[in-house]
Amino acid sequence: MISNQSSLLQNIQNRYLNPNGADVWFVFDDERIPGHRIILASSPWLESMFFGSLTENNDVNMNNSNVTSRSFKEFLRYIYTGNANLTMDNIDEMIFLADESLCQEIFDECEKFLIKNLTIDNIFVVYQLALRHERAVQLKIACEEEICVNAVHTLKSSKFSEIQFDFLQNILKCDSLVCEEKDVFNACIEWAKAACRRNRMDQYNPINLRAQLGDLIYQIRFSSMTVGDAATCIDSCPGLFTANELQEIMCIVGRKNYSGTTQFNCTERYFSLQRNPSKELKCDRFSFITSDRRIFALTETTTFTCNRPAFLKGFTCECNHCVNKTARVSIVETKGEENVNIRCNVQKNLIFGTKNTRKKRHGQIERTHTSFTAKVMFDSGILLRPGYEYSIHITFDSLLLLEHNCVLKKKVRVDHDIVIRFDKTNDIVTSLILNRFDNRKYFRRIFHNPVMWCILVGVLLVIAAIMRYDINQPDSVLVHLWHMIKSIFEKH
């Protein structure tokens, strides 16, 4: 058997933008682009053009196609050669062409390109692009996660006030915005003022502001606000709410039963964000072994704080016995005395069956410790926010002797920039299982890594010392190296 597959592929690639043998022309105002039906017929969308828009001289009018000739040539390049140059300037038209032509390969490449180049500056432009194309599911998820995690910055950006009403609605319905709810309210007011300016209306008239927001005002979660924050928001825009709405807000904020029709969304934010990051982090609290044994109570509580947004996927418990226990696990998020939210409340089966042996030197004595670990994983993770305190309450169904003789750390640094602080060193939770949100930002990890900074400073000092030493020597290595490089360039 013989094959000339490579030569056939090369022949097709050589036909790209080649007028020789072209039997169809795509006509733009500024350019005529040649094409070959036998190659382009692989796209049903392009094939339909040949029979729907052709004139007598085989011209296809592209002036009403919403794409430029430059982007269309990149689209043809992919069909002919399998490659295309994607940039932020042409990505809008390229993903449109991929969607119209039902070319899944190009669409997937466009989606990957946008996810890779997603920043806070272009997040809303890309998000609007994702919402315009129903197939861009992964891009929509990536944009919403980026908006949620960086909500403090994105909601205050100038680009936020320029988004369309439908896109604002999608953002307000997200249950995972990592910011205070008063920031969401202020962002909505700024958006409404910008909308009034675009429509040439008085931006200081509360009636005009309410007309721009409409029922979106009900997506503000006043149930997540303190009484002081809610009062500040209401006072900043007098006349924005009706009397019935104000009554409902006060009852929601005051945690009182409200008998009327509930209009405002009372779903707590920061709970339902779904994500599958590539790297799982473990916050291991083990410090050393002690001769003292700590006996656990029927209810155990572990309280901690986190300095950066992180995703809590689960935790591990440890004791000196191989047992099977059923327990009620609840996680409570608190900030001050007014803001208390139950983030999780589930029944779990704790199987202390994974054997764990540690050797740890404490002073002159080396101790060996054997314990049994139980792992608890949540079906949907919990978003940890800076400035909030989290408590893991474990209530066992029956009292059974559980103990261990480990001393745990009160402060653990995870992945260089995430710091978890615990309130005590003797409890049953020995580690937390976390995911970070910014897996793509490798430079941020290096920036927050003190070891990398020490190595970099050390290398620079060594280089500076060698250069200073070599320059002062008449027969130095650097002088010889310079003359060798100079002679090479002189020969050429």
CATH number belonging to domain 1-117? 3.30.710.10
Mean of pLDDT over the chain: 80
Per-residue pLDDT band for 184 (boundaries 50, 70, 90) equals very high
Q: What was the pLDDT predicted at 272?
A: 47
Give the range among 98-107, 181-190, 282-291 with minimum mean pLDDT: 98-107
Topology of domain 280-441 in CATH is: Jelly Rolls (2.60.120)
pLDDT per position as a tens digit, 100-132:
777 788 888 888 888 888 887 888 889 888 888
Give the range among 127-131, 187-191, 301-305, 337-341 with minimum mean pLDDT: 337-341
Q: What was the pLDDT predicted at 420?
A: 94
Give the range among 142-151, 207-216, 447-456 with minimum mean pLDDT: 447-456
Q: What was the pLDDT predicted at 31?
A: 82
Q: How far apart are CA 131 and CA 174, in angstroms?
A: 14
- Mean pLDDT over residues 389-409, rounded? 85
Which position has the higher pLDDT, 479 or 265? 265
Q: How far apart are CA 440 and CA 396, in angstroms?
A: 40
